[in-house]
Amino acid sequence: MNQPKWMSLLGLATRAGKVISGEELVIKEVRNSKAKLVLLSEDASANTTKKVTDKASFYKVPVRMVKDRYLLGQLIGKDARVTVAVLDKGFADKLISLLDES
């Protein structure tokens, strides 16, 4: 079975150096208006989910949920990650459209 297109695209964005991970870094890039999309795992703690979604909505950064932290980490070649930010508008827009149709 092929992995969904958005997963390959996230990998590509990662290799292009357009992805950062980790709650503090993600929030910092949202604040700096560098984050164009925030991916949040569904198994993030309530506190993290609230902090990240509040910050993202305040700065009008779209947020999309992904299944879990292990998948998110694996897609960017790291250990489990509860949140990831995409820093490139082209990648972000394409990811959003792929995630919304899946």
Q: Residue ranges of the alpha helices (H) in the chain?
A: 5-15, 23-31, 46-58, 69-75, 89-101
- Higher per-residue pLDDT: 64 or 102: 64
Summarised one tens digit per residue, pLDDT across range 68-92 is 999 999 999 999 999 999 999 999 9
Residue boundaries of the structural domains of the chain: 5-101
pLDDT for the residue 1: 53
Percent of the chain with pLDDT over 90: 94
CATH class of 5-101: alpha beta
Question: Model confidence over 41-65: pLDDT tens digits?
Answer: 999 999 999 999 999 999 999 999 9
